[in-house]
Amino acid sequence: EAGVAQSPRYKIIEKRQSVAFWCNPISGHATLYWYQQILGQGPKLLIQFQNNGVVDDSQLPKDRFSAERLKGVDSTLKIQPAKLEDSAVYLCASSLTRTNTEAFFGQGTRLTVV
């Protein structure tokens, strides 16, 4: 079974530029998460989708971050404009449902803002 796919693996941009990350969850998984993991810290939830609807985006900095999952499958996360403190690994995860089930993570996108 294919896992969660993310691209790109690495991205270096200058501050104030824009960047987008893509995620393809495991087939049939209704729940999709985007996490931000800063070096030395645990993953921080940015946004959670159930199919194509948002169920939690309380920690998403909405002035610069946006995410969508239009058809309930693939998802994109965008940052515009980027700040130095956005340097982190952005992890996408999916699970079959939102209750009590294992979340599978992609390999992440390592973003460096210079």
Residues engaged in binding another protein (CB under 8 A): 31, 33, 35, 40-45, 48, 50, 55-56, 58-59, 91, 93, 98-100, 102-103, 105-108
| Minimum distance of another protein from residue 98's CB (angstroms) | 4
Task: Compare residues 28 and 40 and give the one whose CB is closer to another protein.
Answer: 40
54-62's contacts with Cβ under 8 Å and 24+ in sequence apart are 55/98
Write out the two tokens for 96: 């079959």
| Minimum distance of another protein from residue 53's CB (angstroms) | 9
Task: Compare residues 59 and 80 and give the one whose CB is closer to another protein.
Answer: 59
Q: DSSP 3-state assignment of 30?
A: coil
Task: Compare residues 15 and 44 and give the one whose CB is closer to another protein.
Answer: 44
**Residues 6+ positions from 23 with CB-CB distance below 8 Å:** 4, 5, 6, 32, 34, 74, 75, 76, 77, 92, 106
